[in-house]
Amino acid sequence: MPKSAYQIDPVATAITRGFSNGKMVADNILPRVTPVSKEEFKHNEFSNVDEAFTVPDTKIGRTSDANEATQSSKILTDSTDDWGLKTVIPQPDIDNQPAGVNLVGEATEHLTNLVLLDREIRVKNMVLDPALYPAANKLALDADSKLTNPNCDPIEIFDEALDNMIMRANCMVIGRKDFSILRKNPNIMKALNKTSGDKGKATVQELMELFELEEINIGEAWVNNARKGQARNIVRVWDGSILLFCKDAKANTRFGTTFGYTVPYQQRVAMTKFDPDLGLRGSTVVKVGESVKELVVANDMGFLISGTR
């Protein structure tokens, strides 16, 4: 197989691996586990969480062996997918770049941001899909219970969802618009104020304590859904649904029961090549990408609340 014309750029690779957009939450919902060394990998899918709560006979006779306790899981084979983008920088632009400006570095950051935004959308589409969850783990709010209804009682809604989960969620993901409505809900303010006063604005920390959560992730990202050449149609990525889920930060493809995670193959990389056929004096092509697989491995460890507005 012929070698690629692209060469790994160490400086650009350091930039893309160090890049972070705090407005994106995909890495908190499906956290990245230790990278695998091959594109194909095996992982556990927990399809019978009931066994974790089924107690075998623990009595042991004087000369007999202990009964065995196991938790069933399917060992599945999967593989990572490649995701990436490239851009072209004409050589005269590089030759004439001002002092202190790194056009390849700037292009790397721009491409990385778009690659991560695409991942944000993929994760959102996966975890906010009602078809992913068992009937007992999803709730579509009606007109009276939507967050926009002043009579909505989120405390009752969330407590009911959390108390009915076979393993209580410790995390939430919610869009910025829904969060802004939720934090000013009169019933929440009464609970926090411990009076009949229903005005105010709850903090993230106060809501975490109120719902006994370890983490609230607020989706801030925007995306332009218009096709090239059309008028812009910028919408929020996370909008209209709230997900409660269990996250075990120590879980990986072999051990630990958690809602889901992301399996990377190696790490994100940035590459460059010089193409003499692009432009009069040639151009530098910058390509950024990563190989990952997003997985939900225990769907009954999530609870989806949809139709929030």
107 part of a folded domain? yes
pLDDT higher for 253 or 287? 287
Q: Would you list the DSSP string of 93-149?
A: HHHTPPTT--HHHHHHHHHHHHHHHHHHHHHHHHHT-GGGS-GGGEEE--TTTSTTS
State which of 54-58, 60-64, 287-291 shows the largest mean pLDDT: 287-291
55 part of a folded domain? no
Q: What mean pLDDT do residues 150-177 have?
A: 94
Instruction: Indicate the SS3 state at residue 230.
Output: coil
Q: What tokens does 134 get?
A: 């068992």
pLDDT exceeds 70 at position 84: yes
57 part of a folded domain? no
| Residue 39 φ/ψ, nearest 5 degrees | -65, -35
Residue 26, domain extent: 7-49+73-306
214 part of a folded domain? yes
When divided into structural domains, the chain yields a total of: 1
Q: Are 164 and 134 in contact (CB under 8 A)?
A: no
**For position 276, which CATH number holds?**
3.90.1690.10
Instruction: Indicate the SS3 state at residue 297.
Output: coil
pLDDT exceeds 70 at position 194: yes
Note the pLDDT of residue 1.
Answer: 47
Note the pLDDT of residue 69.
Answer: 59
Q: Are 9 and 104 in contact (CB under 8 A)?
A: yes
pLDDT exceeds 60 at position 71: no
62 part of a folded domain? no
Q: Do the strands 171-175 and 241-245 form a parallel or antiparallel pair, or are they unpaired? A: antiparallel
pLDDT band at 293 (very low <50, low <70, confident <90, very high): very high
56 part of a folded domain? no
Terminal-to-terminal C-alpha distance of the chain: 54
When the pLDDT of each residue in the chain is averaged and rounded to a whole number, the result is: 90
Give the C-alpha separation, 297 to 263, whole Å. 12
187 part of a folded domain? yes
pLDDT higher for 124 or 47? 124
Q: What mean pLDDT do residues 136-160 have?
A: 93
pLDDT band at 51 (very low <50, low <70, confident <90, very high): low
Which residues make beta-bridge pairs with 285? 88, 273
Q: Are 305 and 242 in contact (CB under 8 A)?
A: yes
Q: What mean pLDDT do residues 23-46 have?
A: 91
Q: What is the pLDDT of residues 222-275, one digit of tens each?
A: 988 887 888 888 889 999 999 999 999 888 888 878 999 999 999 999 999 999
151 part of a folded domain? yes
pTM score: 0.88
